Amino acid sequence: MVKARFYEKPYLKKFESIVKEKIVENGKIKIVLNDTLFYPEGGGQPADKGYINNIEVVDVQEKNGKIYHTILGDIEPGEPVKGKIDFDYRFLNMQHHTAEHIVAGLICKNYNAENVGFHIGESYVTLDVNVILNQEQIKNIEIEANKIVYKNLLVKTNFYDEEDVKDWEYRSKKELSGEIRLVEIPGVDLCACCGLHVKRTGEIGLIKLLSVEKYKSGSRIYIVCGKKALDNYNFEYDIVNKISVELSAKHENVYSSILTLKDEIKNLDKKNNELQNKLFDIEISNLENKHTQIIFKENLDMDKIKSLCLKLKNKVDRIAGVFSKEDDLYKYMIMSDFDDVKKISKEFNEICSGKGGGNTTMAQGKVYSDKEKIEDFFKRYDN
């Protein structure tokens, strides 16, 4: 594990150093400094962002004990530099990292689980454990985790020789040797970790467990903390507020109002269907008696097309057809107890640029043609 100044001074934002080495890899300039405050990506925590001599640092990676800063500019070895890290971003990562230790520590202790994955993303943190947890268990963990925040416990980080800690019980995702860095939240968790943490748990502000889902043979938990938790609250509150205005309902009543609204829509749909069926009946009874009848409609779903076509079939002795316009095409269904509509629809599709299929008594599909051409095609069956 590389030892750098960010471990001793995780709250320091600016530093001075000298460029020790410069490499160009895939067209990207990467520099190594004598010493740095830039945290390299690792242990689930993203790389720091910031500036070196006002040149943007877009990535920081550790390789073979060296920390490489990818910069959008050029600085030569030997040059003195002033570095400045984006501390808002870093602090959020520290809050999230400590929160993850608290949540993982509680889950591992309460459910005899193991923490098998952790990632700080742009929008949230994901924590993977090897047990299946339900919403109620997650709610309880959230309450416990926030109690640890209120206690404002000191987060202790120390390097130890593996021999010194060989009998200690601490969490670790892999077998460790040599020097081991342990992060302790007293009474809550002891974990091997190379990441950066807040000094006291109170600095996390709020730990919000957004959701839990099954992941591999365990669970994945989505977490937000600090400002991200506030942003999340504002985002959700704004949505509830807008719904509340639209429904003229208090926040606490928006859910029941939506359920009432859904019921009303369902009843209206039912009434609408009944009325439409009556209209279909009237429309069909007013049609003159022909051997073949084709009706044109707009925006009917296939169920309605079918029910109209069935009614129409009783009125004719050859072919009944319903064509419903939707954008630049017609959805259609044709039925007959006399003619082979499978054969007819095949010919129809060829002539009128359609596609579809069916059986001898019913065929359906869509057709890219105009009304006149469709009517013209079926005229031949009206005798």
Q: Name the one range near Zn ion by CB under 5 A: 147-155, 194-202, 280-288, 373-381.
A: 194-202
Residue closer to Zn ion by CB (options 104, 333) is 104
Residue closer to Zn ion by CB (options 173, 306) is 173
The alpha-carbon radius of gyration of the chain (Å, integer) is 34
What does the chain come to in residues? 383
Min separation Cβ 105 and Zn ion, Å: 10
Alpha-carbon distance values, 354 to 168, 324, 363, 374 (Å): 74, 13, 12, 11
Residue closer to Zn ion by CB (options 195, 218) is 195
Report the C-alpha gap between 80 and 82 in whole angstroms: 7
Min separation Cβ 108 and Zn ion, Å: 13
Min separation Cβ 98 and Zn ion, Å: 8
Q: Which of 102, 103, 192, 193 binds Zn ion (CB under 5 A)?
A: 193
Min separation Cβ 195 and Zn ion, Å: 4
Give which of 383, 340, 338, 380 is closest to 363, Cα–Cα: 340
Min separation Cβ 82 and Zn ion, Å: 29
Number of residues that bind Zn ion (CB under 5 A): 2
For the record, the structure tokens of 361 come out as: 């008594």
Q: Name the one range near Zn ion by CB under 5 A: 46-54, 185-193, 226-234, 244-252.
A: 185-193
Residue closer to Zn ion by CB (options 31, 225) is 225
Give which of 107, 22, 350, 377 is closest to 115, Cα–Cα: 107
Q: How many CB atoms lie within 10 A of CB 113?
A: 18
Q: Which of 46, 50, 83, 195 binds Zn ion (CB under 5 A)?
A: 195
Asked whether position 102 contacts Zn ion by CB under 5 A, the answer is no
Q: Name the one range near Zn ion by CB under 5 A: 159-167, 186-194, 293-301, 369-377.
A: 186-194
Q: Name the closest residue to Zn ion (Cβ).
A: 193
Summarize as ranges the residues that interact with Zn ion (CB under 5 A). 193, 195
